[in-house]
């Protein structure tokens, strides 16, 4: 592999919502050199590829940031970092107005006021939100964008000083050397067996290309992670796995069982209760379940077609070519579990400046933990907070001499590792080799069956987790036994490695919370009740190949 | 898998390969685009929005809707024309404008 070295002041890994916005903010407020590196092209990379429907986090008139903190905390049954949530909530409105100035269309009334959906959502046209972010980022003269480079590991001595990766298209080995790093690679999908069968495996809600890279590189470098056990399981339109918020909040569609009964009130209205209610209705023989959309007028139906084209176009195609939501209720189902810190609280343990426990490494967006219900505006807010944190860190921390010898060795080893995977076939003729895809399917099957996937209605037992743990370890051992002909294959291999490492840590977290805090999200069959003693965070650090679990006290903020 | 690339229309510009958020597409020796593993596709339609000659369409998968159907996209600045077709040949076109916010 040809080696390419990039020197920069700040490295941003992942040019998604949080990464792009942090890059824009650093570009506008400093003379630092900023490199943004992404595995794809930032115009459409990440969660926002097809677009989004609404800004799910905004503080409307008559409400205060603390209201949002209380809402998110209640939804997560108290296991949130209220300090982090408050920082985000205080910035939601300002990032919204900033995005509007940059070109985002937000619905307004005759008086020029934003039109809200409930008290915390705004109606927008989010189809082009990613192209807007990309264009704004490219305006920054001190920002350089590197695309189609997959980052796999951090570069560090006693501080984080960059990252290693490979060019998917150019086949080069990349070393990014930086004084501070922001990781913003999103969450992790594709860990569990998904809703749709193999041929359609990626017909899922969360981006199947966010594979937990940021979590994995942090875990391997010894970063502390929090609340992985609070998995996110979405209630989605059956088969297309398209979002349902537009139907539930937008047109007020209620959850309906096959007996024609509205069941949502029976179970409660938090995110996990809405899901769990649907699971129970099915288990008790009152499925399938729907969102009651029949009877909406023709104009509403037409508006829904538009809304879904701007976010999940397959849903509109399905409606238009068969029956629309005005004539047929929309069937719903729970997805496979995802790890995503923008919806639940899983991710890096960070301080208020979004620095992780590894000095020099910051985290923002879905990869950062503690603050659920972040969504797009929360990811933007966190990108901005991290940008300020990085500036602060670089001012406070005079240049420190690196352990060059250590870094050179680290880099050489990484290059060798990539090259070894690429030449594996030639090296050992006749040796046993597997396709990455086979390992991936095996991982999803293990997680599904033993770690609370769709197959067990999200329930798990300690015994099952032991089995999952052993099998996942075996699969990690098999990574060296795969067949990889080029850097596209290498991409798949590292995506699998990331998912396996996330699975490994997730299993430890699921085991450690010996209660059931959130039905469905963390359904511990051995301990079906909520227990006072688990009013705490479950955190973990990988030390000498073993995951060390640590409980931490809840961090609260006063009403203000 | 839901996208289909018409090789006779593809002019080999590589725009779809560049834009795909999952590096799903590649170009063959004649520069024609193809998905290396069709099951990797997320149906985000970014490639369809970029293709200058409408060589890419989306075929509604049987697992999603047994009635079938197809969609093409024609994009011009803010305006996107979504050309949908039922299996009996009936065509429905919906036009969206990024300057118009969703009503819901
Ligand atoms: C289908 C869908 C619909 C949604 N709808 C809404 C909505 O209507 N309203 C709302 O407020 N929120 C919505 N959300 C949530 C919101 O989009 C996300 O929470 C937010 O975009 C997350 O931002 P992020 O920066 O953390 O991740 P992303 O924006 O996904 O960015 C992650 C980036 O990292 C890159 N990356 C990943 N791994 C690597 C690697 N190894 N090396 C280099 N780069 C890498 C990816 O390519 C990507 O560009 C939706 C999410 C989804 C999936
Ligand atoms: S629809 Fe999206 S994921 Fe599928 S090939 Fe096109 S750009 Fe890639
Ligand atoms: S964008 Fe269209 S014309 Fe260009 S390579 Fe892709 S399919 Fe072919």
* pLDDT higher than threshold 80 for residue A383: yes
Q: What is the pLDDT of residue A407?
A: 97
Terminal alpha carbon distance of chain A: 57
A39, A45 contact by CB (below 8 A): yes
- Spell out which residues of chain A touch residue B102, defining contact as CB-CB under 8 Å: 53-54, 107, 123-126, 246, 250, 303, 306-307, 310
The predicted model gives A65-70 an average pLDDT of 97
Question: What per-residue confidence (pLDDT) applies to A141?
Answer: 98
- What is the Cα–Cα distance from A535 to A194, expressed in whole angstroms? 31
pLDDT value of position A431: 85
Give the residue-averaged pLDDT of A182-205.
96
Cross-chain residue pair A40–B96, CB shorter than 8 Å: no
Q: How far apart are the first and last CA of chain B?
A: 29
Distance from Cα A509 to the centre of ligand 2, integer Å: 34
Alpha-carbon gap, residue A358 to A457, rounded angstroms: 37
pLDDT digits 0-9 by tens, A88-137: 999 999 999 999 999 999 999 999 999 998 999 999 999 999 999 999 99
Q: Which ligand is nearest the CA of A373, by number?
A: 1
Closest of A431, A455, A446, A510 to residue A476, by C-alpha:
A446
In terms of phi and psi (left: phi > 0; alpha: psi -120 to 50; beta: otherwise), the region of A283 is: alpha
- The closest alpha carbon to A369, from A537, A182, A156, belongs to A537
Nearest by CB to A306, from B68, B84, B96: name it. B96
Q: Please give, rounded to a whole number of angstroms, the shortest distance from the CA of B22 to a CA of chain A.
A: 5
- CB–CB of A491 and B23 under 8 A? yes
Please report residues of A whose CB lies closer than 8 A to that of B19.
41, 43-44
For residue B1, what pLDDT is reported? 61
Cis before residue A386, ω within 30 degrees of 0? no
**The length of chain A, given as a count of residues:** 560
Among the partner residues A147, A306, A322, nearest to B102 by beta-carbon distance: A306
The pLDDT of residue A399 is above 80: no
Cβ contact B42–A49 (<8 Å): yes
Q: B34 C-alpha to center of ligand 3: Å?
A: 9
Position A401 scores a pLDDT of 79
Q: Judge whether residue A221 has pLDDT over 80.
A: yes
Q: B22 vs A209: CB contact, 8 Å cut-off?
A: yes
Name the band, by pLDDT with cuts 50, 70 and 90, for residue A479. Answer: very high
Can you list the pairs that A522-526 forms with residues at least 24 positions away whose Cβ atoms lie under 8 Å? A522/A229, A522/A230, A522/A231, A522/A452, A523/A452, A523/A457, A523/A458, A523/A459, A523/A460, A524/A459, A524/A460, A524/A461, A525/A459, A525/A460, A525/A461, A526/A461, A526/A462
Ligand 1 and A134: CB distance under 6 A: no
The C-alpha atoms of residue B26 and residue B42 are separated, in whole angstroms, by 15
Tens digit of each residue's pLDDT (9 = 90 or more) over A262-288: 999 999 999 999 999 999 999 999 999
Q: Which two tokens stand for residue A3?
A: 């080696």
Nearest residue to A336 via CA among A243, A452, A233, A442? A233
Q: Comparing C-alpha atoms, which of A172, A181, A190, A170 is closest to residue A217?
A: A181
Cβ atoms of residues A230 and A343 within 8 Å: no
Ranges in chain B, pLDDT < 70: 1
Phi, psi of B32 (to 5 degrees): -75, 140
ipTM of the complex: 0.97
Question: Which parts of A172-229 fold into alpha helices (H)?
Answer: 213-220
Write down the pLDDT at residue B103: 82
Query: What letters, b where the CB count within 10 A reaches 16 and e where it falls short, cover A310-321?
Result: bbbbbbbbbbbb
Minimum CA distance residue for ligand 3 atom 6: B16
| Residue A407 backbone dihedrals phi, psi, to 5 degrees | -65, -40
| pLDDT for A282 | 98
How high is the pLDDT of residue A397? 82
- CA of B88: which chain A residue's CA is closest? A321
Predicted local distance difference test score (pLDDT) of residue A425: 63
Structure tokens that stand for A516 in this block = 């059931």
B103 touches chain A (CB under 8 A): yes
Q: What is the pLDDT of residue B53?
A: 97
> Can you list the domains of chain A with their CATH numbers?
235-334 (3.90.700.10), 415-530+547-552 (1.20.58.100)
In whole numbers, what is the pLDDT of chain A averaged over residues?
96
Query: Nearest residue of B to residue A490 by CA position?
Result: B23
Closest CB to A321 among B36, B44, B67: B67
Percent of chain A with pLDDT over 90: 94
Q: What is the pLDDT of residues A310-333, one digit of tens each?
A: 999 999 999 999 999 999 999 999
Cβ contacts (< 8 Å) between A197 and chain B: which residues? 63
Q: Per-residue DSSP letters for A491-551?
A: HHHHHHHHHHHHHHHHHHHHHH--S-SBTTTBEETT--S--GGG-EEEEEEEETTEEEEEE
Which residues between 5 and 34 in chain B have a beta carbon less than 8 angstroms from any beta carbon of chain A?
18-23, 26
Give the pair of three-digit tokens for residue A439: 């390992």
Of ligand 1's listed atoms, the one at least distance from the Cα of A205 is 1
DSSP designation for A253: P
pLDDT interval class at A426 (50, 70, 90):
low
Residues of A in contact with B39 (CB under 8 A): 198-202
For ligand 3, the distance from its centroid to the CA atom of residue A88, given in whole angstroms, is 41
- Structure token pair of residue A71: 């809402």
* pLDDT tens for each residue of A137-155: 999 999 999 999 999 999 9
Distance from C-alpha of A212 to C-alpha of A366, rounded to nearest angstrom: 10
Domains and CATH numbers, chain B: 2-97 (3.30.70.20)
- Coil, strand, or helix at residue A173? strand
């Amino acid at each position: 592999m040809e080696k390419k070295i990039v020197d920069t002041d700040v490295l941003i890994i992942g040019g998604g919502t949080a990464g792009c916005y942090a890059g824009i903010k650093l570009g506008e407020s400093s003379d630092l050199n900023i490199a943004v590196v992404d595995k794809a092209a930032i115009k459409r990379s990440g969660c926002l590829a097809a677009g989004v429907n609404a800004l799910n986090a905004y503080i409307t008139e008559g409400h205060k940031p603390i209201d949002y903190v209380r809402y998110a905390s209640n939804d997560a049954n108290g296991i949130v970092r209220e300090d982090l949530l408050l920082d985000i909530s205080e910035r939601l409105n300002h990032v919204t107005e900033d995005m509007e100035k940059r070109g985002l269309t937000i619905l307004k009334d005759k008086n020029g006021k934003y039109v809200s959906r409930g008290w915390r959502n705004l109606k927008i046209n989010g189809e082009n939100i990613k192209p807007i972010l990309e264009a704004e980022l490219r305006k920054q003269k001190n920002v350089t964008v590197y695309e189609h480079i997959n980052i796999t590991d951090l570069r560090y001595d006693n501080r984080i000083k960059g990252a290693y990766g490979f060019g998917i298209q150019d086949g080069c080995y990349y070393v990014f050397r930086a004084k501070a790093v922001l990781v913003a690679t999103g969450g992790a999908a594709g860990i569990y067996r998904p809703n749709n069968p193999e041929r359609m495996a990626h017909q899922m809600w969360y981006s199947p290309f966010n594979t937990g890279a940021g979590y994995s590189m942090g875990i391997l470098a010894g970063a502390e992670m929090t609340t992985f056990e609070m998995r996110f399981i979405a209630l989605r339109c059956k088969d297309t796995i398209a979002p349902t918020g537009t139907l539930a909040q937008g047109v007020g569609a209620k959850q309906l069982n096959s007996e024609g009964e509205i069941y949502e009130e029976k179970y409660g209205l938090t995110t996990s209760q809405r899901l769990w209610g649907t699971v129970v209705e099915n288990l008790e023989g009152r499925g399938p379940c729907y969102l009651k959309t029949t009877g909406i007028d023709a104009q509403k139906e037409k508006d829904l077609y538009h809304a879904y084209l701007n976010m999940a176009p397959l849903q509109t195609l399905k409606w238009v070519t068969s029956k629309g939501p005005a004539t047929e209720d929309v069937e719903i189902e729970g997805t496979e579990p995802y790890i995503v810190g923008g919806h639940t609280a899983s991710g890096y343990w960070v301080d208020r400046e979004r620095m992780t426990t590894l000095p020099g490494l910051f985290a923002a967006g879905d990869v950062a933990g503690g603050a659920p219900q972040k969504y797009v505006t929360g990811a933007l807010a966190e990108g901005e907070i991290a940008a300020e944190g990085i500036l602060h860190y670089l001012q406070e921390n005079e240049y420190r001499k690196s352990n060059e010898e250590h870094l050179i060795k680290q880099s050489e080893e990484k290059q060798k590792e990539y090259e070894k995977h690429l030449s594996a076939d030639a090296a050992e003729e006749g040796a046993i080799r597997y396709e990455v895809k086979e390992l991936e399917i095996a991982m999803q099957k293990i997680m599904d069956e033993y770690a609370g996937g769709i197959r067990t209605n999200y329930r798990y037992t300690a015994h099952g987790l032991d089995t999952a743990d052993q099998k996942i370890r075996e699969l990690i051992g098999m990574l060296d036994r795969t067949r990889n002909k080029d850097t596209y294959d290498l991409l798949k291999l590292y995506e699998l490695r990331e998912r396996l490492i996330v699975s490994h840590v997730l299993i430890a977290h699921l085991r450690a919370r010996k209660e059931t805090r959130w039905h469905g999200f963390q359904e511990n069959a051995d301990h079906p009740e909520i227990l006072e003693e688990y009013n705490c965070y479950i955190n973990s650090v990988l030390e000498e190949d073993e995951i060390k679990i640590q409980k931490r006290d809840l961090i609260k903020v006063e009403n203000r | 898998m839901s996208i289909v690339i018409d090789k006779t229309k593809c002019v080999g510009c590589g725009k779809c390969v560049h834009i795909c958020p999952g590096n799903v597409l590649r170009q063959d020796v004649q520069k024609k685009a193809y998905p290396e593993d069709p099951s990797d596709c997320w149906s985000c339609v970014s490639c369809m929005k970029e293709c200058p000659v409408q060589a890419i369409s989306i075929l509604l998968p049987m697992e999603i809707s047994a009635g079938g159907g197809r969609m093409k996209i024609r994009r011009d600045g803010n305006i996107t024309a979504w050309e949908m077709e039922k299996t009996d040949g009936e065509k429905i076109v919906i036009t969206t404008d990024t300057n118009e916010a969703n009503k819901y």
